[in-house]
Every structure is written in structure tokens, then in C-alpha cells.
Structure 1
């Protein structure tokens, strides 16, 4: 008997990691030979649920190990209260729920939001990952997007023409702990714009069009030399996650060998328990070496693979690249090439990261950072510090932003020569670095001006060790001025607002005589004078020291 499923086919489009250039997942797209099945599914939740199951089975027939993206309308979830048949189908095809991301597709305006959120909560409990799809073209209310707290947000490529909107979404996603993807990328210019805006993932015709057979190789434009550097505090491990090759802990060595020999790009296999927690890590080279030795296959083929594995190295999904390197550094040198498993808050594996990807990205970060160092002090410039301020703001951290300069610095150059002035600037920079080493970021923003980003308590140490130190050159003392604005979470929206609050404090500090320190709170009027004498700022004199106490 004829069925509408007889003419239904599926195409697969890769989701690409913009940093590693690897395929991070596959999205299954319905391609009926006749009729508009998607329009019908939008009106019929039961049909939409069936489509999701059929898409899953179509992927399973291709025997791909990549994570999957399945589309489902928001109204379907609200109406059905979840997708029980899909959960059963996932188990039936031998996949795990956390390998499947559900792309929630608009419209959303007339969907009962409470029912939708309850359905999403139930799907999360089962282990499915959640993506908010069609942002920028759809009608997803901002409040609903926040309440959904998705693992991934897909932006329409049309938003790339409005970079401020993309940056705002990136900031929101950082707050929600979500990755940002851009879909519909067709040109290299759009790809570059997505990278510049901070998107971690993308898909579109540029990388690979939808195809009946999933592709493993995609085109990713080379990163331009001017691409923005990653934060010094370290890019998130989420940006480097690759799909993991996973087998149950009961797998035999023969099953692992079949997987590795059939997938030359797989560098290792993770053996996971029933809920997806890594139990053993099987490294490709060491495993195949054991199997290829004398009598190796006869000895091991039918034995549990876990006997040839190691304790897995794991990091949390919120770790930074630097933290991954710390994990790799622990243990024997023979395991430095092992993949590191990335686990969610429940300890379930969501993928792996490769050391080569991290080292490459961190090396690029160091090169970019070195290019921005001030040649006199070798301290980072204003871009590095203000970028760090924005990251602290996005992370909801309280902080103190301090500006420091040398009073009447021109008199040093005029009276003692520019060489003495340069040495003074270097000395102040060294003193700042030594005082706050490991506790703050120090930047040299030009001339005799410095910025210090730190926790609220650090400026007190700064004052005692640097501001109050006796500085002199050629027997003539000069002083330093310090202005600090303390920013509580939510008090400023970005580094520009923080700088705007700092500006009047700087002016107030310069109007004082002697070593001065003015402290203010962002969003509150007035300031407190911690050091300095009012009314005699213009009477300050002269030269400054090459070293404190000289």
C-alpha cells in the first residue's frame, strides 16, 4: 500500500566548528519528492514527531558516528509534551540521547510557553540537547529564549549584516552557557564575519550543501592574519569539542578494532557506562600496536576492550583551553597525545578535544597578544585590557578598574631627558606587574598611562606597594595619581561604560597634590579621596624616579 513516506528522502548538512575546521554534527533535512510535508507537519504535531523519528533512522542507516541535529516545531513539543517515540527510537538505533540536539523551530508567538518549557525540561532530563533555531528570522521572544536556556543558538546569516546584534547575542549566550552557530553561510565574507562576531559553529552552502550521503570533508576558509585574538584567560573548551567515538564498556577488543580500522580519522575510543559517563579511554596507536603483536588478535579479540584502555582524562564543559593543558600535563609523557573527554554537569561525555587543536589556537593567541604589546614595557595595550573587562562583565564578575599615571611627566622628559622618562615608565610598569602578579591584568595604554583590572581588594595592595613608594630622579621627587572605579555585577554594560565612570575620577585625582588616589562606585554619585591634598594639584613638580626608593 502506498504511503507518503515512500517519497520522503533526507539530506544531511554538516555543522562545522569554525575553530578546528572539523564537522561537529550533522543536521537531517526532510526532502519530499512531492507535496509540502513540512507545512503539514507545522499544523500536525503527530506528523512532525514522526518526521523526527524518520530523520533519526535515516541517519542511522548511514552508520555515521557524528552527533545529530533533528528539527522539531515548537508547537509540536508544547502539544505533545515531549517526544517519547523519539527517545525510544534513539535507543533502538544504538545512539545516546545526548548525541542528539533538537533544533526547536519557530513560530513561537502563539505557542503556550509554559507547555513548551515543560516539554523541553523533560527532554533535557532524558539527555537530549536543546538548540534555539531561526534566531533573527523567526519570532522567538527574547524572554522565551532566556527561559529555554539552550545549549546552542542558531542565528540566521542575515544578522551578520548587523554585527552589533550578533555580538549582543554572543554576550547573551555566554551568560546562558550556550554556543553560537550561524546558519545559511554562503560566502567567505559571511564566514569571516561569523568568526569576528565570536560564533563557534556554522553551516551553509559555503562549507557543504545538503547531500544524500553525509560528507566528512568540508571547505573552511583559512583564518585571516587580522582575526581577533582569543582571550588571554583562555578560550572555552566548548569551542574545540569534536564528536567522540563511543562504545559501551562491554565492547570487545574486536569491536574497537573494527571501529578504528574503518574510521582512520578516529584517534581513540571512549568506553562509556549506561548513562554515557567515560569509564576507559582506548588510544588508537597503543591499542592497534597491542592487537598487531604476536598472538595479539588471538589473545585480545574476544576479551573486553577496557582491559586495553586507560583511565580517561576528562574536563568539564566550562573549562578553558589552559585547564585542558593542565590535565594533559599530569601523568606519563606517553599519554600526551590522548584525546581529552569533555563531560557535562552530569559527567556524561559530550565529545573530545585534541591537544593539537588547543596548542594551535593558544599559539595564535600568544602571537596576536605579542603583536599588541607596548614596545617600551612589553605590557598589553588597551585592546587586551578592555576586552578582558568585557569578558568579566559578561561573566557577572565584580571588578575594580584602575587608571594610574605619573604626575607632570613632561617635566621629567624636559628636565632629565627622554631616556630617564622611558626608564621611569618601565620601572612603574615592572612595579605594577610585580605587585599584582597572578591577581590582576596590567596594561600600558600609552605614554605614562597604565590600566589595572583586578578584584575589588587588589587596589589596596597596589597603593601600598606602588603609589606610596618614594619615587625620585636626579634627587627630585614626583608622585603618581591613581583613580579606581569599582563595578558591581550589572552596574556597567561594557568597557566603554566602565571607562566613562573612570574618567571623572581620573580628573579628580589629577586635581590633588602629592600621591593621590580617588575611589568611586559605578552608578553612584561622588567619590572618596583616599590619598592626596585638595586644592594644590597645579603645584606639583617635576622629575620622577627610575626606581622606587632610589
Structure 2
């Protein structure tokens, strides 16, 4: 109880700055970066997590994680795990962005710590690429879900040709090792056009402020694909978006709150304790059921799984054309989100069918 009280006190004192992360293909906000008091300690990180949790938005959170805390082992990270428990979130809803330098003698402890966090369910990101003190080969050992370019580097794009070339090379390297790429601090249209030309899909910054609808108006990308990929298209992993998940025993009222917190959420995935998808709730159909006469009275306090559809799951290596064939098997659910799963069936995120259609249309 003392630990919980300490964490709640820390969160009350922390000032948390929330920045939306935007999917440039759809203009939707797909995650939130939370920045706290900049102390760089695990205690301040825990306070940031709790402060962000008070916003009641269920989008995934990106939090900065000092490398020294990971090197310190599980005991050093205990405040983070406790804050997660108090906030009511699950590890899969948090992306921990590694920041700060480390010595070569600490590398093994760092990799071991990251593997442990990943095993718990956290998503791992590597931050400040291009200007931070993180060696490039860490991208192969850390196997990050997300690679974040340095905001100082993006600030010099495209006016500084050398730094522009460096940032483009880093974005390409990150994609080659299987990470999604985030361009932070985008403030000008020229910067946005440049990062999109590199194939970067995720960005944040002053230029990308959501309007009243919760979406950002961004131009459609112009992408080119290698000839050998034209037949089946890219793999669905390239279109992966974080999923909004809830435990499979969650009530319909909890799902209503999830949809109400962010207008760009198109589905809620019900998962078991191992993050395996057990049901899918499409925004339109679910809210229509709740809004119908006696809908809330009939379903509100009961498990949302009663209204869930079966999960349309595809492995992360599925080509776009094959994924579209899966979507087309049920005429009534053609545009429902597809759930992308890893090798052991755990939910990695969702893919929107409209994104696949748009990409394939551009390639023809």
C-alpha cells in the first residue's frame, strides 16, 4: 500500500505533456507520447505513466526509458511495473523508448533487460537515432518495434543535405531490421514531404495537430515498390497499427469508454492473459448495438464478448493480396480491421483493409 501511495503522489505532482503520434496514411492518431518532468529516472517515468493514465485515453503510450534503468535489472524497474498495475494498463499498451548511452561492458545487461521487458509484453523502441549515444548495431540486438529518429536531426531536414542523407539512411536501416520508423518534431510541410519520401509512415510535431474530428489532414503518399513485390504486394507488417485491446472479460461499458476516448479508434480487440485475440468489436456495429433501444440496459454491464465477432487474424508475414482475400471472405465484414499475430498467436496490432486497398491501387 505504501508503494501505491508513493506512486499516486508522484503522479499528482508530475506535469505530463501528451503529444499525438499520427499515421500519415490515414491522418489518425494511433499512439500518444507522454513526457514528464525530464528527471530521467524510473520514478519520474512511473509518475509520467500514471499522469498520462488520468487522461483516460486508451491509445498506446510511448514513454522514454533511460538505458541505465534497464541495465540496473528488474529491481530498478519495479516502480514502472507498479505504476502500470496501478494505472490499469497492460504492458502491450506501452512502448518503452530506450534513451541514453551505455558502455560496451554494459551491453549484455542492457540486451538481457530489454529481452525481459519484451517477455513481459512491453513494446520496445530505440530513440534519438542520429544524434544520441546509441550504436547502430543495437537495432539488430534490441529488435525494436519502433525506431525514433532524433528530433534534432529532423529539425535540419531538408535544408541540410548531409543530415538529410543521414536521416534517410537511418530510416532505411530501421525498416530493413523490421522496425517501424517515427519522425518526431515535424514542424514544416517541407519536412513532412521529405520524411514521407523516405517511406516513413509515423510522425509527430507542431504541424500534425489533430482537428476537431481527431484526425490530421495530410496528403496521400507517393510510394514506389520493387517490381518483384508488385504481384502480392508488401507484407501486412508494413501496415501494422497498434491495437486497442481489452481483456476478453471486459464489459460493454468499458468498450464504450474506449471508443469514446478517441474518434480514430476503429476496433477494440479482446485478448486473453497471453495477448491472444479472442474477439473483435467493430466500432460502427458495436456502438449501433449499444445505441439501439434498450441496448445499454441489455449489454452495458455484461461481457462485451457477447457482441464480439470472430477474429480475422493474419500472420505478420502475410502479403497484402493474401490479407485482402481473407478480408473478402465475409461480405458483411469486408472493411473490418484485420488482426496481425506473431509466431505464437499473440496480437501485434491491426491492419486496416482500406490501407491495403489504397496501397495496391497505387502500385497498379
Structure 1 length-normalised TM? 0.57
Range that drifts further, 187-196 or 78-87 = 78-87
Residues 271 and 191 of structure 1, relative CA distance in 2, 3 Å threshold: same
2:223 is matched with: 228
Choose from 51, 67, 76 the match for 2:44. 51
Choose from 189, 214, 217 the match for 1:217. 214
2:78 is matched with: 84
Residues 5 and 286 of structure 1, relative CA distance in 2, 3 Å threshold: closer
Asked if the contact 1:271/1:281 (under 8 Å) is kept, the reply is: yes
Give the match's secondary structure for 2:72.
helix
Offset, 1:220: 4.8
Give the match's secondary structure for 2:219.
coil
Instruction: Report how many residues are paired.
Output: 344
Offset, 1:97: 0.6
Give the match's secondary structure for 2:187.
coil
Residues 111 and 186 of structure 1, relative CA distance in 2, 3 Å threshold: farther
Please say if 1:25 is aligned against 2:22.
no
1:65 is matched with: 58
1:355 is matched with: 353
1:508 is matched with: none
Asked if the contact 1:96/1:276 (under 8 Å) is kept, the reply is: no
Offset, 1:257: 4.1
Offset, 1:111: 6.8
1:10 is matched with: 16
Residues 261 and 220 of structure 1, relative CA distance in 2, 3 Å threshold: closer
**Could you tell me how far apart the structure 1 residues matched to 2:262 and 2:28 are?**
15
Residues 251 and 169 of structure 1, relative CA distance in 2, 3 Å threshold: same
**Could you tell me how far apart the structure 2 residues matched to 1:261 and 1:150 are?**
30
**1:251-307: CA deviation from partner (whole Å, max 9, x where unpaired):** 233443454456554333221112221101123333344445565444434433212
Offset, 1:196: 1.0
Residues 61 and 152 of structure 1, relative CA distance in 2, 3 Å threshold: same
**Could you tell me how far apart the structure 2 residues matched to 1:110 and 1:8 are?**
33
**Could you tell me how far apart the structure 2 residues matched to 1:360 and 1:6 are?**
44
2:123 is matched with: 129
**1:205-233: CA deviation from partner (whole Å, max 9, x where unpaired):** 22149xxxx99736454246xx3324524
**Could you tell me how far apart the structure 2 residues matched to 1:340 and 1:197 are?**
26
Residues 68 and 190 of structure 1, relative CA distance in 2, 3 Å threshold: same
Give the match's secondary structure for 2:345.
coil
Residues 320 and 18 of structure 1, relative CA distance in 2, 3 Å threshold: farther
Give the match's secondary structure for 1:142.
coil
**Could you tell me how far apart the structure 1 residues matched to 2:135 and 2:213 are?**
35
Structure 1: runs of 5 or more not aligned: 32-36, 42-47, 367-550
Residues 321 and 60 of structure 1, relative CA distance in 2, 3 Å threshold: same
Residues 290 and 63 of structure 1, relative CA distance in 2, 3 Å threshold: closer
1:340 is matched with: 338
Residues 266 and 184 of structure 1, relative CA distance in 2, 3 Å threshold: closer
Higher RCO (C-alpha under 8 Å, 6+ residues apart): 2
Give the strand-richer structure, 1 or 2: 1
Q: Say what the alpha-carbon RMSD is for the aligned residues.
A: 2.9
**Could you tell me how far apart the structure 2 residues matched to 1:305 and 1:183 are?**
36
- 1:48-447 correspondence to structure 2 within 5 Å: 48-81=41-74, 83-109=77-103, 112-157=106-151, 158=153, 160=157, 161-162=161-162, 163-208=164-209, 217=214, 219-223=216-220, 227-231=222-226, 232=230, 233-260=232-259, 264-293=263-292, 295-330=294-329, 332-366=330-364
- 1:499-514 correspondence to structure 2 within 5 Å: none
**1:339-396: CA deviation from partner (whole Å, max 9, x where unpaired):** 1122233423233222222222322232xxxxxxxxxxxxxxxxxxxxxxxxxxxxxx
Range that drifts further, 352-361 or 123-132 = 352-361
Offset, 1:121: 1.1
Offset, 1:85: 2.4
Residues 300 and 206 of structure 1, relative CA distance in 2, 3 Å threshold: closer
Offset, 1:204: 2.0
Range that drifts further, 258-267 or 7-16 = 258-267
**Could you tell me how far apart the structure 2 residues matched to 1:289 and 1:217 are?**
20
